[in-house]
Amino acid sequence: MKLSLGPITYFWTKDKTLEFYEQVAKSPVDIVYLGETICSKRAVIRFSDWMDIGERLAAAGKEVVMSTMTLLEAESELKMMRRICENDRFLVEANDVGAIQLMKGKPFVTGPSVNVYNQRTLAKLAKVGLCRWVFPVELSQDTFADMQDERPEGVESEIFAYGRLPLAYSARCFTARAHNLPKDDCDYKCGEFPDGMTLSAQDETRFLSLNGIQTQSAHTFNVLSELDELRSLGVDILRISPQAEHTLEVIEAFHNCMQGKEEAEEAAARLNKLMPIGPCDGYWHGKPGIADSVLDNYK
């Protein structure tokens, strides 16, 4: 089983991003996904910069994957998607069907935003080049087990194992709207929220996180305590989604547990204290997403 680091989903400064990947190069993570997947206006890091970061990570022994945007609305975004898909250096994570079409005949990965919900879809994508898929975050372990039974040969299975869940995408920028700003003149407000802007329900329950055009869970998904079950299900890769603080500690905890140096349940409970709000793992257990079995065990 390998450990991957998903693309940064938030708007961080260029200096913070470069410093972050310098630290990642020294970490025990095996695979690193790079690129802007949320909003093209956040292009403080250009394609050439991402490629340079990728080369440095590859030199440090990491497998590098270039990720495409999830929701495309402009010709400039299509051009960038084509540029990523045509790169002949790194594997590509296709985050929408357009990118899959461009990658047809070449190896590619599908991200969690691609709705691979059944064995037929998995088989069809494998025929056109799929070499790895990320299991959609809203599905349960029972569904994953069923799909694993008919997984095509040569296709790796990756699970979103830690991070705020990517739930939905919209043409409207929610962060800008919350500040009474239009999307085209947003003043880059999302940069003020390095872990997203938490949204509360009427009863003050912290429910969602707004990240530009993306809606995330307010709570952080964490299935580290399920490590033995994940192994038995044949999971190939566990994905950690970066957060503004403590990501290197999260990587280290997962790595130690995978190496048998630490008990998974104890490490999971410790990581709960490093989250912006708190933990959840409901979807994986076929329950409401906000539910958390680990927290119940430690009350």
pLDDT for position 200: 82
Least confident range of 63-67, 97-101, 146-150, 204-208 = 204-208
| Overall average pLDDT of the 113-128 stretch | 95
Q: What is the pLDDT of residue 297?
A: 42
Collapsed DSSP state (helix, strand, coil) of residue 122: helix
Supply φ then ψ for residue 70, to 5 degrees.
-90, -40
Predicted confidence (pLDDT) per residue in 81-93, tens digit = 999 999 999 999 9
What are the pLDDT digits (tens) for 245-293?
999 999 999 999 999 999 999 999 999 999 989 999 999 999 988 888 7
pLDDT at residue 69 tops 90: yes
Mean pLDDT score of the chain? 93
pLDDT of residue 26: 97
Return the structure tokens found at 247.
Answer: 């990501």
Helix or strand run (H / E) with residue 18: helix 14-25
Q: Residue 54 contacts by C-beta under 8 Å, 6 or more apart in sequence? A: 32, 34, 64, 66, 89, 90
Q: Is the pLDDT of residue 205 over 90?
A: no
Dist CA 152 CA 150 (whole Å):
6
Residue 38 C-alpha from the chain's centroid: 11
- State the Cα–Cα distance between residues 55 and 66, nearest whole angstrom: 12
| Residue 298 confidence (pLDDT) above 80 | no
- pLDDT at residue 140, rounded to an integer: 95
Mean pLDDT of 63-88: 95
* Residue 122 binned pLDDT confidence (cut-offs 50, 70, 90): very high
Q: Report the range of poorest mean pLDDT among 120-124, 198-202, 229-233, 241-245.
A: 198-202
Pairing of strands 197-200, 206-211: antiparallel
- Separation between Cα atoms, residue 291 and residue 230, nearest integer Å: 19
Q: Which CATH number fits domain 2-163+220-272: 3.30.470.20, 3.40.47.10, 1.20.1260.10, 3.20.20.70?
A: 3.20.20.70
Residue 295 predicted with pLDDT over 60: no
Q: How confident is the model at residue 194 (pLDDT cuts 50, 70, 90)?
A: very high
- Residue 179 CA, chain-centre distance (Å), reads 26
Is the pLDDT score of 51 beyond 70?
yes
Q: Quote the percentage of the chain above a pLDDT of 70.
A: 98
